[in-house]
A and B are shown apart, each in its own frame.
Chain A
Amino acid sequence: MNSAPNIADPDGFYEAWLNAHEHLSDADSAELDARLVLLLANQLGDQELLLECIAAARAASNGTKR
């Protein structure tokens, strides 16, 4: 898994991600992220990499309830 910066325009990406969630209810927001995860996962494709990303996402929760 690549933890080094790889996103070409980090601020631009983050803004676009926020914009996509604008005016959505919490529920609709969560639905959107679920679709986004699937689309991104298909870009990666590699099973080992996907499993590493899932584990890393799960490990990095910042004090919210698991």
Chain B
Amino acid sequence: MPNTAETWKFAPAYELPAWPFVEPPELVTGRTRRHPVVIAGGGLAGLTLACELAQRGIRAVLLDEDDTVGVRGASSRGICYAQKSLEIFERLGIYERIRAKGITWSVGRTFSGADEVYAFDLKDESLSEQPPFINLQQFYLEWFLVERILELDAELIRWKSRVVAIDNESDHVKVEVETPAGRYALEAEWFIDATGANSRIRNAMGLEVNASHGTDRWCITDVKFKQPFAVERWTWIDAPFNEHRAVWQHLMADEVWRLDYQMNEGADPEAISRPEVAGARLREQLGPDVEFEFVWIGPYQYRDHLLERFRVGRTLFIGDSAHVVSPFGARGGNNGIQDAANLGWKLALVLNGEAGEVLLDSYHAERHAAAEENLKVTSRTTRFLAPRSAAEYRMRRAVVALARTHEFARKLANTGRMAQANAYPSSHCAPSGARSLQNVAFEGTSVMRELAEGTRLLGLWFGAGAAELASVEDLEKRWPVRFRSVEADGALAHHLHAEAGTLVLVRPDAYIAAVVDRATPGFVEALLRSALGRAAVGPAV
């Protein structure tokens, strides 16, 4: 029963920075200019791409309709940042700020009632300099990205600038922008839609996303309290303190806990998010004595969608505009970040004339495949957490009953499979597919440090001597690639199962393009031609 005598306290709203609108050159001079890249939308995906491009020396423009980060109203959307994202941020120069502000974790536990059903420790599989996960309110990440972008290119972001129309021409995209100082147009060689799930740009182009909406209802309650809960991801399949429905418990920065409660399907979103109703739920979980303050209460329903083509002419779609999945396993924001990392180096090399335009089709091939996989994985979790029939409930009860005493059944309990860097299937520019390389430290450096400067592939040649390196010097002059010798018995060799003589070709996004046992300059050149979209057909590896 709600304690009607209790008064509910709200923490003061987060203080977010605001940046000024500056009248753009187009409005000042009245002249339309053509830019290499124009990005619409300053969320995680858009900002990460802007930062990638700025670091790679491409002068992009990012248009954001707001003048701050996050969603007004103090909510945080994403909270869990996966290792691959953290490695990308290490390369972009903001990882240390994220680590200092955020909550590092690797252990997850799943409960049914009062019993633990299964647990995992992601650190067991990690060799990276970055931890498996850091939790942080999304707007902090966006804030750090904005400040890093401003350091690199003070004019890159245009605030209070809303895209109202685009026109796809054969050699550019015309972008109409509305600002407090009036409307103007600019031209983009490449236009990126990063305006999110409800993109008006995408919708105006008449592109189908095959959206579906879940019937399962949840209510996020971000709460501030000091309580010695474990700094771990805890999930309940059926929590006794939530009428035997699911609950999520996660810590973010500033001692704010995200508690996410599964509600009845027919629940009224307005009713379940009233402070006295949310407060009563918290009292059930925390007991009568813990003092807390609400930070944010927000009911939501899942939706998912997947755009059919991530590239349409000179327009490319990244982040939620291209794909949305239910939140289990943190596969939303992390994949927007990875879209940006996949696209950044490809755009830079195409714009510099160092790669063929077909490389941008490989952005679709790779990231669409990743989005499809994420959709499959999250849909399975959704079905475990919200069984659709009496039979599905029975099957879940069978799993939970066996899990207590039989280890194998723990693998069937599914409260989310945590985001990993998806492996990419074979495609035109990656005939053998591509898989992510962790940020392993070696010989006083690390994979990300080796990739931080410029936009080049990295040839890690294990046990290579001066003669081998001299044999590929000519390739370094003609292609965006750099080779270095790596110890054949070190940590990196071990991680990659590389032996003396193995050459591992790493892309600027830290994906492995090829592993070659006996490298010859001619064969390596064929690999480069393929990886950079210059080959009619890629070589078989």
Which residues on B sit within 8 Å (CB–CB) of A35?
A: 398, 401-402
Cβ-closest chain B residue relative to A43: B408
Q: Do A34 and B398 have beta carbons less than 8 Å apart?
A: yes
Q: Does A39 reach chain B (CB closer than 8 Å)? A: yes
**Does B277 have its Cβ within 8 Å of any Cβ on chain A?**
no
A6 contacts chain B at the CB level, 8 A cutoff? no
B interface, by DSSP: helix, strand, loop or mixed? helix
B406 within 8 A of A: yes
Q: Chain A residues with Cβ under 8 A from B408's Cβ?
A: 42
B401 CB contacts on chain A under 8 angstroms: 31, 35
CB-based nearest B residue for A35: B398
Q: Closest CB of chain A to B15's CB: distance in Å?
A: 52
A49 at the interface (CB under 8 A from B): no
What per-residue 1/0 map shows which CB atoms of B172-200 lie under 8 Å from chain A? Answer: 00000000000000000000000000000
Residues of B contacting A39 in the complex (Cβ-Cβ under 8 angstroms) = 402, 406
Shortest CB distance A35–B (Å): 5
CB of B397 within 8 A of chain A? yes
Question: Are the CB atoms of A38 and B397 closer together than 8 Å?
Answer: no
User: Is A16 in the interface zone, CB < 8 Å from B?
Assistant: no
Q: Are B406 and A34 in contact (CB under 8 A)?
A: no
The answer to whether A51 has its CB under 8 Å from any CB of chain B is no
Contact A34 B412, CB 8 Å, known A39-B402, A39-B406: no
User: Residue of A at shortest CB range from B396?
Assistant: A34
Verify if B280 is at the interface (C-beta below 8 Å from A): no
Q: Name which residue of chain A comes closest to B409, CB basis.
A: A38
Encode A23-40 as 1/0 by CB contact (under 8 A) with B. Answer: 000000011001101110
Which residues 19-66 in A have Cβ within 8 Å of B in the complex? Answer: 30-31, 34-35, 37-39, 42
What class of interface size applies to chain B in its complex with A?
10 to 19
Chain B residue at minimum C-beta to C-beta distance from A37: B398
List chain B residues, Cβ under 8 A from A31: 394, 397-398, 401
A30 to B408 alpha-carbon distance, docked (Å) = 21
Q: How far is the CA of A42 from the CA of B395 in the complex (A)?
A: 15
Q: Nearest chain-B residue to A42 (Cβ)? A: B408
Query: How far does the alpha carbon of A39 sit from the alpha carbon of B402 in the complex, in Å?
Result: 8
When chains A and B are docked, how far (Å) is the Cα of A34 from the Cα of B394?
7
Q: List B contacts of A30 (CB < 8 A).
A: 394
Mark B397-415 against chain A: 1 for CB-CB distance below 8 A, else 0. 1110110001011001000
Complex alpha-carbon distance, A35 and B405, angstroms: 12
Question: A53 → chain B, closest Cβ, in Å?
Answer: 15
Q: How many angstroms from the CA of A39 to the CA of B398 in the assembled complex?
A: 10
Give A30 to B394 CA distance when docked, in angstroms: 8
Among B393-444, those with CB < 8 Å from A are: 394-395, 397-399, 401-402, 406, 408-409, 412
Q: How far is the CB of A49 from chain B (nearest CB, A)?
A: 16
Complex: how many Å from CA A37 to CA B394? 12
Decide if A38 touches B394 in the complex (CB within 8 Å): no
